[in-house]
Amino acid sequence: MSRIVILIPADGSRAQLAKWLEADGHVVLTAESISAATEQFGSLGNADVIIGDESFGARLAAQAQGTPVLILSRQATVAEAVKAMKTGASHYQAYPETADQLLIPVHGALAETGADRSGDFSLGGDSPPMRALLEHIGKVAPTESTVLISGESGTGKELVARALHARSQRRLAALISVNCAAIPTHLIEAELFGHDQQEDHRGLLEAAEGGTLFLDEIGELPLDVQGRLLQVLAGSTANVRLIAATQRDLAGLIESQQFRQDLYYRLKVVSLDIPPLRDRGEDILQLAEDILTRTSRRLGKPKPGFSSEAKDSLVSYHWPGNVRELENAIERAVILGEDAITTSLLAIETAAPVIDNLAAQTPDQTMEDYFVSFVTAHQDQLTETELAERLGISRKSLWERRQRLNIPRKKTRKRGPRRDVS
Ligand SMILES: Nc1ncnc2c1ncn2[C@@H]1O[C@H](COP(=O)(O)OP(=O)(O)OP(=O)(O)O)[C@@H](O)[C@H]1O
Ligand SMILES: [Mg+2]
């Protein structure tokens, strides 16, 4: 249980944020202004985390006395993020739409201060590949080495990046995360490196000074930006530790000339491979148990148990979406609220991996036909993220193909757990 202060004007979103945090077991205090907050609760420095609207900006960080500040924005542009970081905010993001979008950064912030006494997001595992990974992380984290993290979608790449930062000398400085796949191509260069001419538009690289820059989905970086990045890194005296992550096979991308070999070697000083969930043996059961505890608590539901048949399925299923898919399956099951979680409640036994489906498609079926039939057949059961994972494409390209092939997303959906419980 932690003390969290929310400083945003009273409206629907403030109530929602408070609800999510309370369901996660925190004590939440809300106020409309900094002065109202200090009057009501004394120093803001007593809070474990402060969540504030961007309009409070620098004043908030100045009053926070070292307490992590999470700034929420209606726009959330990278330029604003840089500004927010410069004012001393430790985290910056768009207003969350789901509980996780709020709880994940809050747990991250709490973990940095050692104040996290609620959810358990720590990496763990006893299977040989996880033990090897954890040992590796323990050795690499305190060094200054550049690290390249690779692993399938949903395996925990971001979690590992956070763990590396949190266990380094830099833990009190910023960890700046950039999702290379999420910034429009024509903006990436300015976002990363800033505009030379404009004082107030510094890049993320500079904003990470003294801390860690996490370049997520580095495989999505366009070739020309890769070249610039290499140049900047070579000429830079910035005191920044670099961590990159990719779910794409960079060696393969090098072969097809989509990724620069020299950048690859620059990043791959140390490489950490995160094992897919299906290779973690009995770890899956412990992980499922932890996620179940966390999810039941968050949703305010009694904690059910797994049936023995469900446990077998958990271990034998191939988990194409890895830990994220496991979290979704469990959340769905908890929401449906039976006493015991069975295989069918997890809804995993029927989910054949798409790779197999693709291979099995009839020769006269085009990829587009396949796409349309897959999406229409599964969109009622799967979230957009799960659909994209099964198809092996990003959510962005799922959306683009929906537009192109004219299969609009249904507005009302029967499920979509996070929306349902809000
Ligand atoms: N060992 C673990 N224990 C508990 N939760 C975990 C673990 N590994 C991953 N998770 C959870 O699984 C989800 C996916 O993790 P994360 O975002 O770090 O993966 P990723 O590899 O970056 O995924 P993507 O490829 O989708 O970006 C997160 O909600 C994270 O908290
Ligand atoms: Mg990720």
28: left (phi over 0), alpha (psi -120 to 50) or beta: beta
The better pLDDT of the pair 81, 256 is held by 256
Q: What is the pLDDT of residues 337-350, one digit of tens each?
A: 888 999 988 988 64
Residue 82: pLDDT over 70: yes
CA distance 265 to 74: 38
**Residue % of the chain over a pLDDT of 70:** 86
CA distance 299 to 366: 42
pTM of the predicted model as reported, rounded to 2 decimal places: 0.64
- CATH architecture of the domain 3-113 equals 3-Layer(aba) Sandwich (3.40)
The better pLDDT of the pair 422, 214 is held by 214
What length is written for the chain? 422
Q: What are the Cα distances from residue 126, in Å, to 166, 204, 273?
A: 22, 37, 16
Indicate if ligand 1 lies below 6 Å from the C-beta of 247. Answer: yes
- What is 278-346's CATH topology? Helicase, Ruva Protein; domain 3 (1.10.8)
The better pLDDT of the pair 307, 384 is held by 307
Indicate the pLDDT class of residue 294, thresholds 50, 70 and 90. Answer: confident
Is 261 in contact with 284 (CB distance < 8 Å)?
no
Is 147 in contact with 198 (CB distance < 8 Å)?
no
pLDDT of residue 153: 92
User: Of 6-20, 35-49, 334-348, which gets the smallest average pLDDT?
Assistant: 35-49
User: Of 97-111, 258-272, 297-311, 312-326, which gets the smallest average pLDDT?
Assistant: 97-111
For ligand 1, atom 23, the nearest C-alpha belongs to 154
Indicate the pLDDT class of residue 122, thresholds 50, 70 and 90. Answer: low
State the ligand closest to the CA atom of 324. 1
HSE-CB for 10 with a 13 A CA cutoff = 5
Which of 155, 178, 289, 396 to mutate to test ligand 1, by most ligand atoms within 8 A of the CB atom? Answer: 155
For residues 140-144, average pLDDT? 95
CB crowding 118-127: b at 16 or more within 10 Å, else e: bbebeeebeb
* E strands in 234-274: 241-246, 270-273
Residue 415: pLDDT over 60: no
Q: What is the pLDDT of residues 86-102, one digit of tens each?
A: 777 778 788 888 888 89
Cα–ligand 2 centroid distance for 390 (angstroms)? 16
The better pLDDT of the pair 91, 135 is held by 135
pLDDT of residue 190: 81
Cα–ligand 2 centroid distance for 218 (angstroms)? 11
Dihedral, CA of residue 270, residue 275, residue 281 and residue 287, to nearest 10: 90
- For residue 124, give the DSSP letter: -
Q: What is the pLDDT of residues 182-230, one digit of tens each?
A: 777 777 788 888 776 555 567 888 888 889 999 999 998 989 889 988 9
Indicate the pLDDT class of residue 167, thresholds 50, 70 and 90. Answer: confident
The better pLDDT of the pair 373, 87 is held by 373
State the ligand closest to the CA atom of 155. 1
Indicate if ligand 1 lies below 6 Å from the C-beta of 153. Answer: yes
Indicate the pLDDT class of residue 284, thresholds 50, 70 and 90. Answer: very high
Which of 153, 158, 175 to mutate to test ligand 1, by most ligand atoms within 8 A of the CB atom? Answer: 158
For ligand 1, atom 28, the nearest C-alpha belongs to 324
- What is 128-273's CATH topology? Rossmann fold (3.40.50)
Q: How many angstroms separate the most distant Cα atoms in the chain?
A: 71
User: Of 2-16, 46-60, 64-78, 393-407, which gets the smallest average pLDDT?
Assistant: 393-407
Residue 360: pLDDT over 60: no
Hey, do 3-113 and 128-273 end up sharing a CATH topology, with the first three levels equal? yes
Note residues around ion ligand 2 (Cβ under 5 angstroms).
157-158
Indicate if ligand 1 lies below 6 Å from the C-beta of 159. Answer: yes
Which residue has tokens 């043996």?
281
Residue ranges covered by each domain of the chain: 3-113, 128-273, 278-346, 354-421
The better pLDDT of the pair 52, 192 is held by 52
